Each structure stands twice: as structure tokens, then as C-alpha cells.
Structure 1
Amino acid sequence: MPTRCQPGQTLLIDADDTLWENNIYFERAIAAYISFLDHLPHTPQQVREALNEAERETIRTHGYGLGSFTQSLIACFEHLTAAPINEHQHALIRSFAQSIADQEIELLPGVAELLPELATRHRLILMTKGSQSEQADKLARSGLGPHFNAVEIVAEKNPAAYADVVARHGCAPHSTWMIGNSPKSDINPALAAGLHAVFIFHKDTWVLEHAEINAPPDGQRLLEVESFAKLADIF
């Protein structure tokens, strides 16, 4: 059991799949999409691999968010069918993405109870990536906004983005932590930027966020916990 940190730490906290469920809704939409394409001569695994590749390409040009996801579904469909999408198909595919937007915010276990408590001892900054409007809307609907001293919605979470946030908010690296479920976006780039990190396991983390977790450089700490509630033992 780690020794609890002194009050006054700065906690950069991820949003999707750290504070509330997110990827499970994308997975349900993708399952419906794959079922829709069931008549094609491709296995579900082949469709998923094609969609993953379409998402990688779309993110490069459109960033993250439901608009980008919809573009990926359409690009994947046109690639697999080798034909333009018609109006009916387009509407149906858009409905898969809309099903995600229609979801209520479901806070992960322990968040509603612990986040206000953490805010009494530490400075909390929400740090998430994606569409500015979509992420701001999720935060507003979550009811968690008042517990954060600041909100940072960035296009990509890389070492430069972390360094920029640290500089803008005058964070001391020795007392600043990134907390999240993504090795690729939350843990490894934060460690590369000189911060400590806490990895919170989530069984449904998006496949494009999977990566091996890097060892922390000398003088930095990396902790791993199985739930948000376990942060009470650390902070």
C-alpha cells in the first residue's frame, strides 16, 4: 500500500473511461454496424480491423469525437463494399453514432463519492482529448465540473500537450500526477513530460489506446490501481 501523498498535489484527471463510461457505447455501436454489414463476404474480425484502420486515418485529419467516428464508419463501409454509400445507408450508419450521443452519463464506481473529497485536499484539473463541444457537454451533464480548478480539452495527449498544461497552470512536476486508463494517452506521455502517473485499469479501454506501459524515469512514480475508488489510498 503506497503512503498517501501530502495535500497540495496537482491531479490531472482523464475523463472518458476514467470518470465515466464511454467506450462501451462505441463498442455497442460498432457491434450494430458489424451486424449491419453481415451480408458482406468479410468476417466480423475483418470488418473490425478495417474499421480500426479507418479510424486511425480519420483521426489524423478530423481528430476525435462522434463526427470523426461517423466518418470512419462511412469510409470503412465504402472501402469494404467498393461503392459509394446511398442515402438510406448513410442515415442508418449515422444512427449508430447517434446512439452514443444519446447515452446518459454513467459515472464509474467511486467517482461521485471520491472526487469531491479529493478536491478538498488537492488541485484538480480535468485533462481530456477530443471535440471541445462534446467533451464540455459531457462534463456539464456529469455534474462534476465544480470539483475542478480548470478544464483542458486538447486535440491530442502527447508530451508537448502535458508540458504546455503544466507550464500554463504553474504545476510543479514533482507534485503533479496524471490519472487515467489509457497507457497511450494518459500514462506514457505524462511520464515522458516528467510527471508522475496513476494507471486505472478499465476492461473496455479503446483498442487504439492500448500500449505497453513504460517504466517511470528515475525520480518519477507510476502506480497502478484497479478502480477510481482506490485513489483514496494514494491522495
Structure 2
Amino acid sequence: MTSRDGKLSTIGFDADDTLWQNEQFFRMTENHFATLLAEHGEEAQLKARLLEAEKRNLGAYGFGIKGFTLSMIETAIEVTGGQVPARVIEQILAAGREMLSHPIETLPHVHDTLKALAGRYRLVLITKGDLFDQERKLAQSGLGDFFDAVEIVSDKSRPTYERIFARHGDGPSRAMMVGNSLKSDVVPAIDAGSWGVYIPHDLTWVYEHVEEPVGAERFRKLPHLGELAELLKRLD
């Protein structure tokens, strides 16, 4: 059995769209945004402008609903030439508040998998985004007791995983990161020397799309989280 004294001692888990649904609420709000501004452009064009604003603003606002809401307002101002009606701004703000209050829907196999692994490994939740919103989602999910540590970070990179797995484990070489984003969860963890397990989600933000590191020795891809325990057995 892999244990704290074995080859693998620490497993990091992404949160959004790995443990619970997230991107679907962004897509719903994006569609509403395009409807609100339909007279100022085609749907695809409006969504492309919004994506440009989101990427441009990541350095200032970071990841999360609040930054997304500000980017919607900025885009609305841009596409209307500064003439966006106050009622539209009001509806955008209301949509952002609604996103912040959505109930948490955990994904299949999450509870059973975490229950099976807790105590056998150090489990660390590693998520990026707004601090208050991520804390809210974790509390509402009921999954908090499974984790030995929680790290809410501004971004995920090789140094992020080196630091976290050194702080909460035995270093990256004895750690694994599990998530739905190749760009944020898998590739930088592998670069840090960890295992990277990719569990695709039907909806993943285009910003997170990169090629699978198929040649990497420590890369694995699973159809769902319920396969993780069996993978760990094979790696023992």
C-alpha cells in the first residue's frame, strides 16, 4: 500500500470542475451577457470580446467571479462606445452576485474517493481564485474534513507546486496533482517533479487548454475521479 512512508505520500486536488461544478455557471452567465448586449454585436463576437477582457485583466483581478464580473462591465462599456445603459450594468452585477450564491454540486465519485484516500495520504486542496468565494464553496461542499491542508493561490505554476508539496508533504517527487486543467493542474505539477493526473471535464475554460504531455513519464489521464484509487494501487 502506498503510504506516508512509501513512494507517494501527498495528493493535491484541484477544486473547480474537479470536485464540484463551476464552469457551467460561467457559461450560463456569459450567454446572459451576450443576450443583454445582443443589439451591439453577434453572440460569438461579444463572447470573444469578453474573453479578451478576461485575459487582459487576469494580472489585475486574478481568477474568479469578481474579476469575471468586472470584465463583463468593461466589455459592455467597450462594445457600446461608453453608452451602456445603467440597467444593463445593474443586470450584470446581479448576474455576478447570483454566481456567488449558487449552491455547490459535487461531481460523481468525489466523496467516496476522498473518503477512501483520507488517512492513507496527505490530501491537499490546491485551488486558485477569489479567497472568499473558494472558502464558501469548500464549506458548502462538506468536503473540508477530508483535507489535511488547503491552499488558495493566485495562480498555479511550477514554483507553486514546489512550494506547496514541500510545505505539506515530502516534496514534489512524492506527490501527485489531480485536476481537470492541463495548463494549471497537470503540466506545471509534472514540471515540478510530481505526478500529474488529468481528469477531463465537459466544460473547461478555453484559457486552460494546452496539449496533453503524452510523453511525460508521470502523466496519467483518467475518465473520472472514481478511477484514481485503482491508479494509485497500480503505482505502488
Q: Distance in 2 between matches of 1:103 and 1:206?
A: 19
Q: Distance in 1 between matches of 2:203 and 2:179?
A: 13
Work out the percentage of aligned pairs sharing the same amino acid: 36
Deviates more, 1:195-204 or 1:113-122: 113-122
Unaligned runs of 5+ in 2: none
Q: Distance in 2 between matches of 1:190 and 1:216?
A: 15
Partner of 1:101: 100
Deviates more, 1:203-212 or 1:11-20: 203-212
Q: Distance in 2 between matches of 1:28 and 1:227?
A: 24
Q: Distance in 2 between matches of 1:93 and 1:199?
A: 33
SS for the counterpart of 1:121 is: coil
1:169 shift after superposition: 2.1
Partner of 2:194: 195
Q: Distance in 2 between matches of 1:82 and 1:184?
A: 35
1:147 shift after superposition: 0.4
Counterparts of 1:41-80 in structure 2, within 5 Å, are 42-80=41-79
Partner of 1:25: 25
Aligned AA (2:122): R
Whether the 8 Å contact between 1:30 and 1:96 is mirrored in structure 2 is no
Alpha-carbon distance change, 216 to 153 in structure 1, aligned in 2, over 3 angstroms: farther
Whether the 8 Å contact between 1:34 and 1:47 is mirrored in structure 2 is yes
SS for the counterpart of 1:177 is: strand
1:70 shift after superposition: 0.8
1:39 shift after superposition: 1.3
Whether the 8 Å contact between 2:161 and 2:172 is mirrored in structure 1 is no
Partner of 2:151: 152
CA deviation vs aligned residue, 1:165-202 (integer Å, no higher than 9, x gap): 12222423332001000011001111111111100010
With normalisation by structure 2, the TM-score equals: 0.92
Whether the 8 Å contact between 2:166 and 2:172 is mirrored in structure 1 is no
1:92 and 2:88 are equivalent in the alignment: no
Unaligned runs of 5+ in 1: none
CA deviation vs aligned residue, 1:43-85 (integer Å, no higher than 9, x gap): 1111111111000011111111221111110111111111154
Alpha-carbon distance change, 128 to 216 in structure 1, aligned in 2, over 3 angstroms: farther
Q: Distance in 2 between matches of 1:146 and 1:162?
A: 22
Q: Distance in 1 between matches of 2:124 and 2:63?
A: 20
1:215 shift after superposition: 4.1
Over 6 Å off, 4+ runs? none
Whether the 8 Å contact between 1:54 and 1:76 is mirrored in structure 2 is yes
Q: Distance in 1 between matches of 2:25 and 2:171?
A: 36
1:211 and 2:207 are equivalent in the alignment: no
Partner of 1:233: 230
Q: Distance in 2 between matches of 1:212 and 1:154?
A: 23
Report the RMSD for the aligned CA atoms in angstroms: 1.5
Alpha-carbon distance change, 228 to 215 in structure 1, aligned in 2, over 3 angstroms: same
